[in-house]
């Protein structure tokens, strides 16, 4: 029986909350120096599900990885007062890193119990985890192999005109793990560069994107799009596989 003092829970303004998270991402990332203690270096761990018997298409797996990475950044739990916020901001405001690992079978199932976001695209699955110091990586993730397995380049179908396209620099011949980290950087950069309404619309689509390889001639045209402000580019720090400053991925927004 009511006592006349009950009050309704405040109505959440989800659009306003998303705008706050987007504004943080739009400020860019990185800039801080690495800490003196290597165990305190910040990184976002990612796991790619690569079964031995029936591995996924490379392009679909990279699309899942790109969507999972940006989904963690714009998840309500990464926003003000969210349980992920302190770890997310400590990572985003430091010298940013992503580390992609592979898993199959029971390893993949166990990875699903670690805080993060899983995305599936055409049967390919990738999970991005809440960032943190490399010295505190969950043992279920730490034991997973970083390299050693790659996937053949495939020929995906036509690009959905409503989806952004993340163009991978084919000349760099990056492994699938390296490429996964780079498209994860690209999805973050693109989301931050989009107007908030466009970013929210992309979020409503589950951050679905297309990942395609760009040959030399096409890459030149894409670099021109970056120079014109119509695309965003990832320039790698050069920790692994490619030379520092290499332009690895160019993200082109859709014509919404």
Higher pLDDT, 212 or 241: 212
Whole-number percent of the chain with pLDDT over 90: 77
Task: Read off the pLDDT of residues 49-76 as tens digits, 9 standing for 90 and up.
Answer: 999 999 999 999 999 999 999 999 999 9
pLDDT at res. 10:
64
Distance between terminal CA atoms of the chain? 52
- For 119, list phi and psi in degrees, rounded to 5: -125, 140
Smallest CA-to-CA distance from 64 within 194, 210, 163 is with: 210
Contact indicator for 48, 126 with CB cutoff of 8 Å: yes
Average pLDDT, the chain: 91
Contact indicator for 44, 128 with CB cutoff of 8 Å: yes
Task: Read off the pLDDT of residues 121-163 as tens digits, 9 standing for 90 and up.
Answer: 999 999 999 999 999 999 999 999 987 778 999 999 899 999 9
pLDDT at res. 1:
46
Q: Checking DSSP bridges between strand 132-133 and strand 42-49, what pairing results, if any?
A: antiparallel
Six token digits for residue 217: 């001639």
Task: Read off the pLDDT of residues 192-231 as tens digits, 9 standing for 90 and up.
Answer: 999 999 999 999 999 999 999 999 999 999 999 999 999 9
Close Cβ partners of 235 (under 8 Å, ≥ 6 residues apart): 245, 246, 247, 248
pLDDT at res. 185:
95
Contact indicator for 55, 153 with CB cutoff of 8 Å: no
Chain-centroid distance, C-alpha 238 = 18
- For 163, list phi and psi in degrees, rounded to 5: -105, 140
pLDDT at res. 2:
52
pTM of the model: 0.92
Domain ranges of the chain: 14-32+39-150+157-252
Measure the CA–CA gap between 205 and 197, rounded to whole angstroms.
13
Is the pLDDT reported for residue 7 higher than 70? Answer: no
Is the pLDDT reported for residue 256 higher than 70? Answer: no
The DSSP symbol for 126 reads: E
Is the pLDDT reported for residue 23 higher than 50? Answer: yes
Whole-number percent of the chain with pLDDT over 70: 92
Q: Specify the length of the chain in residues.
A: 256
Task: Read off the pLDDT of residues 76-85 as tens digits, 9 standing for 90 and up.
Answer: 999 999 999 9
Measure the CA–CA gap between 69 and 215, rounded to whole angstroms.
25
Contact indicator for 186, 232 with CB cutoff of 8 Å: yes
Higher pLDDT, 125 or 243: 125
Does the 14-32+39-150+157-252 domain belong in CATH 3.40.1490.10? yes
């Amino acid at each position: 029986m009511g006592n006349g003092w009950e009050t309704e829970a405040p109505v959440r303004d989800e659009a306003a909350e998303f705008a706050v998270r987007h504004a943080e991402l739009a400020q860019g990332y990185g800039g801080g120096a690495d800490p003196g203690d290597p165990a305190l270096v910040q990184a976002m761990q990612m796991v790619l599900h690569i079964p031995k018997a029936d591995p996924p298409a490379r392009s679909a797996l990279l699309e899942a990885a790109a969507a999972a990475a940006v989904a963690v950044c714009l998840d309500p739990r990464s926003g003000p007062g969210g349980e992920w916020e302190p770890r997310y901001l400590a990572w985003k405001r430091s010298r940013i890193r992503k580390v992609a690992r592979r898993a199959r079978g029971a390893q993949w199932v166990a990875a699903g119990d670690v805080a993060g976001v899983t995305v599936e695209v055409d049967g390919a699955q990738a999970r991005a985890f809440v960032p943190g110091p490399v010295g505190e990586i969950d043992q279920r993730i730490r034991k997973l192999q970083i390299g050693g397995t790659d996937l053949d380049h495939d020929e995906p179908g036509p690009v959905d005109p409503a989806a952004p396209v993340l163009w991978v620099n084919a000349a760099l011949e990056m492994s699938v793990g390296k490429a996964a980290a780079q498209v994860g950087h690209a999805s973050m950069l693109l989301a931050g560069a989009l107007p908030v309404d466009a970013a929210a619309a992309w979020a409503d689509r589950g951050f679905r994107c297309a990942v395609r390889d760009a040959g030399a001639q096409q890459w030149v045209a894409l670099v021109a799009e970056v120079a014109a402000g119509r695309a965003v580019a990832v320039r790698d720090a050069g920790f692994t596989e490619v030379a520092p400053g290499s332009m690895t991925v160019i993200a082109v927004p859709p014509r919404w």
